[in-house]
Amino acid sequence: MSPIGPGHDWRVVRPDLKWQILRRSWRFFLWAMYSSVGSMMLGYDFGAAGTCTAFPSFVKQFGEPFEGSYLIPARVQSGWSGASTAGDILGVLAGGYLIDVIGRMQQGASGWQLFLVGRLISAFGFGIVFVNSPVWIGEVVRPELRGFFLCIMNGSIVLAQFILSCTAQGTSKINNDWSWKIIIILQYMFVGKIWDYLSIRNKLSTNSNVSLRQVPLIVFYPFFPESPYYLLKNNKHESARNSLEKIWGKNDQELINAEMERIQANVEFSEGMIAEAKLKGPLIVQAFQGINRKRSLIAMIPPAGQQMIGSAFVLTYITYFLELIGVTNYFLVSLILYIVMLISNLSAFFVVEVSGRRKLLVPGMIVLTLICLIMGIMGCLTSKAAFWVSIVCIFLWAVFYQITIGAIGFALSSEVGSLPLRPVTQSIVGVTQGVTGWVMGFVTPYIINPDEGNMGAKIGFVFFGLGIIASVLVFLYVPETKGLNFDEIDYLFASGTNPRKFQEAIAEYRARGQSVKKEDLAPKSISYENEKEGVIVEQQE
């Protein structure tokens, strides 16, 4: 009999059967991909303006005369980046609140209505739905595959940017304004409003073509299952069961019963955690009270590290940058780069469950920092060889970024927040990424534009310096959460265990045959390492 066939005990977490469970999780995978459309929206939006800047017709329309041609000034590019990022920040803040008030399913409808009016408002809507996916996945996913499915968030961003790059390569053959207008129009693909745009542009009535406005995103929305965690938290047990049957199917009621028990236990455990810690006030305040302060700050490290190592530069301006440094077929090279990133990101789905989080993040950040240093050095040279080494550095950066902090950073940030505060923690993560991304997106045009810094590949020095800081933070504070359930993560933080010692501490805890209880979560004990025995012990403060 198959290990996960009829009669399998779903109440027992079996990491050794994760790949068999993955094959059983095809419905969940489809819903997880559907929930990640907010990440796709953000990914496309991140790169749209920077990609359009590489089109001559776009530059001519929005730029200024510069040395016999046209150039979009750095201040204008920075303004576009700032408007978009401001919308993202406001959106994730609103989303973190709304997701706990009206549920996970309702987020999409609130955000989709905002995408038609300007870059700022569009980004606000993108930010709202961006929060939904990691919260929904984290609450519903089987523990054996939590890291795998949380990688979907970054995978969706890369997929959208790959679509953007394919579109740019195709429209680069068009010698008029439609070369870049098509890219802008395709943003409406995500919300089913392409025909609205075309109808307005051509002064046609939208009422006569309603059928053309329907896309799978809207068609499937009424069937999207609400988070069972949210439903059980609000005492809607029958609705939670119906939602689980949408996610897993109705054939295996033993699985449904086990998931009902597991998620209900998480709800009760989380409520008990709040009571034990005696937290009060708004959720955003609670996220920075007591031990949750440490958890929130750790959750902020990966998104900040992504930007500090060059994410905003590569994912937003790489096509334009390739043009500036003299790459002839820059649209094609950009497309190849995104193919490499997409393949690298897909490999991270499996690597994260085998190697873990910390074991990839720490060496990954060090390698990325060194790549930036090499690229900066090559920027100081003028030889053809130095030029090609710079291109190779960009591709190597793409591979290591997507396998490490690009994919795993989002997964880790979604794991370290406590269950009751996960929505607001995800908002904090989004704001951190938005603020650091805004800073880097704002200054990058001033660094690379010919009318300003014109640093070329020497921009690598900037990310080398920032990468050193990010690498130190990752080494000191990022824990290894592979194989840990949420109860154990709560216990390790509450006991004051050094983040670098999570695996050793939980191994000792399990060896004593203990299970986590609510009283273990009161932040009244600290842990230290016995220098002689090398084990974690507890001591009252």
**Residue 446 pLDDT exceeds 60:** yes
Question: 219-228, 230-239, 241-250: which range is least confident on average?
Answer: 219-228
Q: Considering only residues 212 and 134, tell me which one the structure prediction assigns the higher pLDDT.
A: 134
268, 342: one domain? no
Question: 38-47, 290-299, 431-440, 443-452: which range is least confident on average?
Answer: 38-47
Rounded to an integer, the average pLDDT of 487-496 is: 86
Q: According to the model, what pLDDT value does residue 395 have?
A: 96
Q: According to the model, what pLDDT value does residue 146 have?
A: 82
Exposed e or buried b per residue across 185-220, where buried means at least 16 C-beta atoms within 10 angstroms of its C-beta? bbbbbbbbbbbbbebeeeeeeeeeeeeebebebeee
Identify the bridge partners of residue 526 per DSSP, sorted by sequence position: 539
* 446 located within any domain: yes
Of 255, 283, 311, which marks where a domain is finished? 283
**Structural domain that includes position 418:** 26-222+284-477
395, 522: one domain? no
Contact 300, 436 (CB under 8 A): no
Q: Considering only residues 6 and 292, tell me which one the structure prediction assigns the higher pLDDT.
A: 292
Instruction: Give the three-class secondary structure for 335.
Output: helix
**Residue 381 pLDDT exceeds 90:** yes
Rounded to an integer, the average pLDDT of 218-236 is: 83
Q: According to the model, what pLDDT value does residue 209 have?
A: 38
Q: According to the model, what pLDDT value does residue 276 have?
A: 58
357, 267: one domain? no
* 102 located within any domain: yes
pLDDT, tens digit (0-9, with 9 covering 90-100), for 143-169: 888 888 878 878 888 888 898 899 999
How far, in Å, CA of 239 to CA of 256, rounded? 12
236, 349: one domain? no
**Residue 475 pLDDT exceeds 90:** yes
217, 240: one domain? no
Q: According to the model, what pLDDT value does residue 62 have?
A: 79
Q: According to the model, what pLDDT value does residue 217 have?
A: 60
How far, in Å, CA of 60 to CA of 78, rounded? 18
Q: What is the DSSP letter of 537?
A: E
pLDDT, tens digit (0-9, with 9 covering 90-100), for 383-413: 999 999 999 999 999 999 999 998 888 788 8
How far, in Å, CA of 425 to CA of 423, rounded? 5
* 56 located within any domain: yes
Q: Considering only residues 409 and 342, tell me which one the structure prediction assigns the higher pLDDT.
A: 342
How far, in Å, CA of 347 to CA of 311, rounded? 19
Contact 166, 174 (CB under 8 A): no
Mean pLDDT over all residues of the chain? 78
* 10 located within any domain: no
Q: According to the model, what pLDDT value does residue 380 have?
A: 95
Instruction: Give the three-class secondary structure for 193.
Output: coil
* 17 located within any domain: no
44, 182: one domain? yes
Q: Which residues neighbour 541 within 8 Å (Cβ) at sequence distance 6 or greater?
A: 524, 525, 526
Identify the bridge partners of residue 65 per DSSP, sorted by sequence position: 70
160, 36: one domain? yes
Task: Tell me the pLDDT band of 447, cut-offs 50, 70 and 90.
Answer: very high
What is the reported pTM? 0.76
Of 450, 477, 504, which marks where a domain is finished? 477
Q: According to the model, what pLDDT value does residue 15 have?
A: 79
Q: According to the model, what pLDDT value does residue 134 have?
A: 76
Q: According to the model, what pLDDT value does residue 525 have?
A: 39
**Residue 124 pLDDT exceeds 70:** no
Task: Tell me the pLDDT band of 229, cut-offs 50, 70 and 90.
Answer: confident
472, 497: one domain? no
Total count of domains within the chain? 3
pLDDT, tens digit (0-9, with 9 covering 90-100), for 48-85: 877 888 888 888 887 888 877 888 888 877 777 666 66
Q: Considering only residues 453 and 93, tell me which one the structure prediction assigns the higher pLDDT.
A: 453
- Provide long-range contacts, Cβ within 8 A and 24+ apart, for 326-332: 326/387, 327/391, 330/54, 331/54, 331/165, 331/168, 331/169, 331/172, 332/169
Q: According to the model, what pLDDT value does residue 24 have?
A: 87
Q: Which residues neighbour 512 within 8 Å (Cβ) at sequence distance 6 or greater?
A: none
**Residue 345 pLDDT exceeds 70:** yes
Question: 89-98, 323-332, 473-482: which range is least confident on average?
Answer: 89-98
460, 535: one domain? no
88, 227: one domain? no
* 7 located within any domain: no
Where does residue 173 rank: exposed (0-12), middle (13-18), buried (19+ CB within 10 A)? exposed
Q: Considering only residues 335 and 541, tell me which one the structure prediction assigns the higher pLDDT.
A: 335
pLDDT, tens digit (0-9, with 9 covering 90-100), for 256-284: 999 999 888 888 877 766 665 555 677 77
Q: According to the model, what pLDDT value does residue 267 have?
A: 83
Identify the bridge partners of residue 527 per DSSP, sorted by sequence position: 538
**Residue 517 pLDDT exceeds 70:** no
147, 168: one domain? yes
264, 291: one domain? no
How far, in Å, CA of 433 to CA of 439, rounded? 10
Q: According to the model, what pLDDT value does residue 411 have?
A: 81
